[in-house]
Structure 1
Amino acid sequence: MDVKRILQAAAVAGIVLLLTGCWNSRELNELAIVSGIGIDLAPGGDEYKVTFQLVNPSSTATSTAASTGQPSIVAVTATDRTLFGALRQASKKATRQLFFAHTQLVVLGESLSRSGINNVFDIFERSHELRLNSAVLIAHNSDAASILKILTPVESLPSMGMVKKTQNTSRVWGENRLVQVFDIINGITGEGDLTINGVYIKGDPEEGMNKSNLDQSNTKTVINMNGLGVFRKGKLIYWIKDADARGTQWLLNKIEETVVNVDADDKKESVAVNIFYSKTSVKVELRDGLPVFHVNIREEGIVNETDSYIDLSKREEIIKLQKNLQQQTESEVKQAFKTAQQSESDIFNFGNELKRNRPEEWALLDKEWGHLFAQGKLDLQVEAYIRSTGMSLKPYIPPDQ
């Protein structure tokens, strides 16, 4: 009987130990949710100035009560020699403990980017809260703090709005792509250079920080996407925009969808072709000690608009458009390649491709790859197909009007 009671007591004790609850739990009303992080160099250049974009719960909560009139976010800035130190320093200004599990965005100031970002992301790999899938943007001609303080229309959380803006322009325009912390760490540890999306403030930054900026249909101060920043050895060296940026995305096989205006017989760039499929394959070989980059791009599109008279019921007209589409794509890709060669910047992962397939040869070229890349030859083949002309074959405007 005593043995039975002892066993029962031991079982109860074991169950009690398993029912200790969440020992490290934190109440929601004790947390400040960080939606975005901005990292700049502090004056003097030996410390980080870190800005945390915090969700203002009294403004974003769903309620039938009257609005508080407060902005949706609050910005808290702290300075320290390390990012983790700045995180802890922020406790002197924030009324709640910072919570990073929902951080959507990391913005890097241009001065920090030009001085080097290699050491910035160490804390993201070590921390159990900071997210490796947070989007990363570079502030163009600005600091990260100013970017995170701008209030945005439509999206109540500016960081979420900027992430969605990046996703949208990546999906339908093609000059940008979503770059996450994990991608940058891989780029820093890989071969060649890397590119990161840029954003800039259009308008007066001081006005953009006020809620009155949103009290009008045409917001005067907004944040726009602004091409790609090119990094070498972790340092921002130059910017690429427009056709150079889209040509880069083509070579990186990152085009999801884009629009190309191609020439018709009677007018330049008068036919809008929506590219809905694009696939790029790359092979790198060495000839006489110099690299040759074999690039094949296959793309398919739909005619969405014509600003000239063109009879799309005729096969020969479709073939002409396909040829013009091919030439336009080739032009943008070659321009992007030429720009990169002028700066000896392999931003297309060609070095990684050679290292993966021919590691022995790569070992001999590693230290002078930038110089060899600049002397390399591009063997470009573009296959362009128009799969549909939309709901109409002929324009409703006669050719004589």
Structure 2
Amino acid sequence: MKNRFRRITGVAVAALILVGLTGCWNSRELNTLAIVMGIGFDQANDLEEVEITAQVVKTKGIKGGKNGGGSSQEEAFINFTEIGTGSFDIIREFTHVSSRKLYFTHNQIIVIGENLARSGIRNTLDMLSRNHEARMNVYMLVAKGSAKDVLNLKPELGEVPAMEIAQLMEAQKNTSHTPDTFFYEVTFSLVSKTAAFVIPTVEIGDSAGRKVLIVSGSAVFKTDKMVGELNEKETRGLLWVTDDIGSGIIEIAVQGVTAELEIIRSNCKITPEIGADGSVKIKLKITEESDFGSQTGSVNLLTMENIQRMEEAQAQEIRKEIEMVLEKTRTLNADIFGFGEALHRKYPHQWESMEAEWNEIFKALDVEIEVETKINSIGRIDQPNYPSKE
């Protein structure tokens, strides 16, 4: 019995060793791949065609300096551009200009040129939605101008534009002036009959005479077309409601002086209500906590009375930002807040009769805003940096 067991065990171990020796059947060598770090889509001159720019990293172009720092001897990236009618066909056409097959698993960003964004992005993104190599958790941006120009601009600090933009998106969480929009979120929104969505905007700006990439604000989409833009404050107004506030500074005026408060945490509860008469109301309750950052002037804002005044002023500022974006989106007729989805979840049967009319309902929707704020920390000093008046 023992010998039989040993024979069976030996055969099993030998089989496992043989399987291991075969390697991965679908493996590909690194030197046969063009690793894509960013991809851009633009409207071509022929409106029926799309221009695709693929940013490929050149590992030989990134070298370490004597002290371990980055010292680029040549460009660390190369951009390939092709034009055609179908995204899938265009990607295959890149083999005419690149000896390596494009590999999307490490892609960082997807940039849509403004002209294409306004004409519609659904068909353009279909290929990436189906491609098993394309990551769904990559940042999406809309370029004010062309996506190709954005990907062509070499960054000041980094070496690869796509990586620099991805890092800019991470940094934006400190201001909450830009949404984090990932590819999978856009694909979900594209199949919704009522939801609108936003994508952050990127542009080439000027800083002390140098061209730099600036990520700020957002583009508003209805169905799959860009219908408008939100500035920084309007975008933060949206993020209060969608519960996507990271951090940021709120500037308020109290007792004739200016104070800056740092957002620490925020929460929004959305409560939809349908009245007996069929009227629809959305209740928003925002609770926010902040730290006292700085002030101008000699008035001591850290008395109990002035802290209460600052909390009230902060609540008014938050309410103002939400009202600003509500007004803008009513004119665009775009429910970027997900109010329709909230109604659908709570009142599935009533929603069936509302869905077709949601655009008209949204424009006249009663939105009640309640904001509660609290200042936690006041910092290391409890008096302004002025001589005492005593």
Q: Segments of 4+ in structure 1 off by > 3 A?
A: 6-18, 61-69, 287-290
Which runs of 5 or more structure 2 residues have no equivalent in the other structure? Answer: none
Q: Counterpart of 2:240 in structure 1: which amino acid?
A: W
Query: Residue 100 of structure 1: CA displacement?
Result: 1.1
Structure 1 residues 122, 320: CA separation in 2 closer, same or farther (over 3 Å shift)?
A: same
Query: Residue 370 of structure 1: CA displacement?
Result: 1.3
The answer to whether the 8 A contact 1:59-1:67 is kept is: no
The answer to whether the 8 A contact 2:110-2:138 is kept is: yes
Indicate whether 1:244 and 2:244 are aligned. no
User: What is the 5 A alignment of 1:2-401?
Assistant: 16=18, 19-62=21-64, 69-140=73-144, 142-169=145-172, 171-190=173-192, 191-203=194-206, 220-267=210-257, 270-287=258-275, 288-398=277-387
Query: Residue 263 of structure 1: CA displacement?
Result: 0.8
Q: Counterpart of 1:116 in structure 2: which amino acid?
A: G
The answer to whether the 8 A contact 2:178-2:232 is kept is: no
2: CA distance, partners of 1:14 / 1:155: 46
Deviation string 1:159-198 (CA, Å, 9 cap, x unpaired) is 11111111211x2111112211101011112332111101
Secondary structure of the structure 2 residue equivalent to 1:131:
coil
2: CA distance, partners of 1:235 / 1:144: 16
Secondary structure of the structure 1 residue equivalent to 2:266:
strand
Structure 1 residues 396, 88: CA separation in 2 closer, same or farther (over 3 Å shift)?
A: same
1: CA distance, partners of 2:16 / 2:363: 68
Query: Residue 61 of structure 1: CA displacement?
Result: 4.1
290-299 vs 53-62, which deviates more? 53-62
The answer to whether the 8 A contact 1:309-1:399 is kept is: no
The answer to whether the 8 A contact 1:272-1:305 is kept is: yes
2: CA distance, partners of 1:322 / 1:272: 12
Structure 1 residues 387, 29: CA separation in 2 closer, same or farther (over 3 Å shift)?
A: same
Secondary structure of the structure 2 residue equivalent to 1:114:
helix
What is the aligned partner in structure 2 of residue 213 from structure 1? none
Deviation string 1:56-93 (CA, Å, 9 cap, x unpaired) is 12211447699673211110011222211111101111
Query: Residue 356 of structure 1: CA displacement?
Result: 1.1
> TM (normalized to structure 1)?
0.88
2: CA distance, partners of 1:398 / 1:81: 71
The answer to whether the 8 A contact 2:129-2:187 is kept is: no
The answer to whether the 8 A contact 1:264-1:308 is kept is: no
The answer to whether the 8 A contact 1:264-1:310 is kept is: no
Structure 1 residues 359, 63: CA separation in 2 closer, same or farther (over 3 Å shift)?
A: same
The answer to whether the 8 A contact 1:330-1:382 is kept is: yes
The answer to whether the 8 A contact 1:175-1:245 is kept is: yes
Query: Residue 10 of structure 1: CA displacement?
Result: 10
Question: What is the aligned length?
Answer: 379
What is the aligned partner in structure 2 of residue 211 from structure 1? none
What is the aligned partner in structure 2 of residue 212 from structure 1? none
The answer to whether the 8 A contact 1:58-1:68 is kept is: no
Identity of aligned residues (%): 27
The answer to whether the 8 A contact 1:312-1:389 is kept is: no
1: CA distance, partners of 2:372 / 2:16: 68
Q: Counterpart of 1:139 in structure 2: which amino acid?
A: A
Structure 1 residues 399, 192: CA separation in 2 closer, same or farther (over 3 Å shift)?
A: farther
Deviation string 1:226-276 (CA, Å, 9 cap, x unpaired) is 311000011000011022111111111111111100112123xx1000011
Q: Counterpart of 1:192 in structure 2: which amino acid?
A: A
2: CA distance, partners of 1:202 / 1:161: 15
2: CA distance, partners of 1:158 / 1:369: 41
Query: Residue 399 of structure 1: CA displacement?
Result: 7.8
Structure 1 residues 57, 264: CA separation in 2 closer, same or farther (over 3 Å shift)?
A: same
2: CA distance, partners of 1:167 / 1:130: 20
Query: Residue 24 of structure 1: CA displacement?
Result: 2.2
> TM (normalized to structure 2)?
0.91
What is the aligned partner in structure 2 of residue 207 from structure 1? none
Q: Counterpart of 1:164 in structure 2: which amino acid?
A: Q
